Structures are given as structure tokens and as C-alpha cells.
Amino acid sequence: MRKAVTEAYYRENAVAYAETTAGLLPEVALRHFTVALPPPARLLDAGCGCGRDTHWFRQRGYDVDAFDACPELAAEAMLRFDVPARVASMLDLEGVGFVDGVWASASLVHMPPSTAAEALRRLARALTPGGVLYASVKEGSGPGIDTMGRSFHYWPAHEFVAAVLAAAPGLTLLETWTNPATLDPKGAGFVNVLVRAAP
């Protein structure tokens, strides 16, 4: 039920959500991620939202495959940033070793741990040897519902680091850090994790 409410929120509020998030560029995470990438790099923006980050990558010459599970947000990515985002879910992702970097910025925040684990497994499998995966979730503990009725899962930092490292054999932790809340009414910040696939 809550999953349906969350999905409906983004479909019904895609324009307003895109307007709110289009200017919230995660500069620190983008810098850490791109410094770690092997040059040249093909990227996957998993859960691209309004297309903001894909646009940033493309401006710097990266080849990016962007997708979002919400059709209306994928449409906003094209309208706002000329990003050809396809409609897809991380849980539908197939293939092994086809991108050098996976960017999953705040795109796991609504998934319970078992679902997030499967999504992370699929994202990690997409990496070429030595490729880099970035993922972020909201910091805290357990499930919760925000004032808009959206369901979230909040993670202690050490648990999310462990979940990312468990996604594939041979992943190496490069960095982990937290940053303050941006739009969360509960004031939850983000846990950021950067890992490298085995060479």
C-alpha cells in the first residue's frame, strides 16, 4: 500500500518535484565520484529523477545511460535538461560489466533492505572491472513515512556501508561520508558510499 502511495506521489507531483530538486546539485558527491572514475568512462544514472546529474555528467563529456522508474520524471528529464531518460526499475536491470560507473544518488531511499540489497547487486554487476559505484540513502534507523505520505527506509551508516559491500564479491570501500538534510522534514541527512569493483 505504502509503495503505491509513494509511486503515486511522484507521478502526480513530477513537475513540482523537478522544480524543487533541479538546482540541488550534490557537488561534493559528484566530485568524489568523478575523481575515482577510470578515464574515459561510460556511466549509468540509476534513478535519474529530473535529469539534473545526468546533464552535469554529459556537459563534461561522459556517456550516460539514464533511467527512472517514474514515467513523469523521465519526461521531466527530457523537458528540463534534454536528457533521454528511459523508464525502468533497478530491479529490472540485467547485464554484467557494461558501465565504468554507477551513480545511484538518493534512488534507494524508498526501498526496504531486502529490495535495496537486490538493487545493489544488480548495480554492482553492471560495473566493469575497476568500475565505481556511488550510492546514497537517508541516515537514521528503520522505516518511516514523511508528511507527504511517502515511505522511506533510514539506514545507520555502518549498515548501509555493509549492504553496499555485500552487493558483489571484491568490492573495495573508497569513501563514506554523511551530509546534512536538504528537503527531509525529519531532518535526516544522507549516508554516501563510494566503492570500486575488483580489477
Q: Kindly report, residue by residue over 69-116, the tens digit of the pLDDT.
A: 999 999 999 999 999 999 999 999 999 999 999 999 999 999 999 999
Confidence of residue 183 (pLDDT cuts 50, 70, 90): low
- What is the DSSP secondary structure assignment for residue 65, as one 8-state letter? E
Q: What is the pLDDT of residues 105-152, one digit of tens each?
A: 999 999 999 999 999 999 999 999 999 999 999 999 999 998 888 899
String of b and e for 35-61 (b: at least 16 CB within 10 Å)?
Answer: ebbeeebebbbbbbbbbbbbbbbbeee
The CATH class of 2-196 is alpha beta
Position 15 pLDDT exceeds 70: yes
Q: What share of the chain is helix, strand, coil (3-state, %, to 5)?
A: 35, 30, 35
Residue boundaries of the structural domains of the chain: 2-196
Q: How many CB atoms lie within 10 A of CB 132?
A: 26
Q: How many CB atoms lie within 10 A of CB 104?
A: 23
Amino acid type, 50: C
Local structure of 161: helix, strand or coil: helix
In the chain, the percentage of residues whose pLDDT exceeds 90 is 85
Give dist(CA 96, CA 180) in Å, integer.
34
Give dist(CA 48, CA 26) in Å, integer.
13
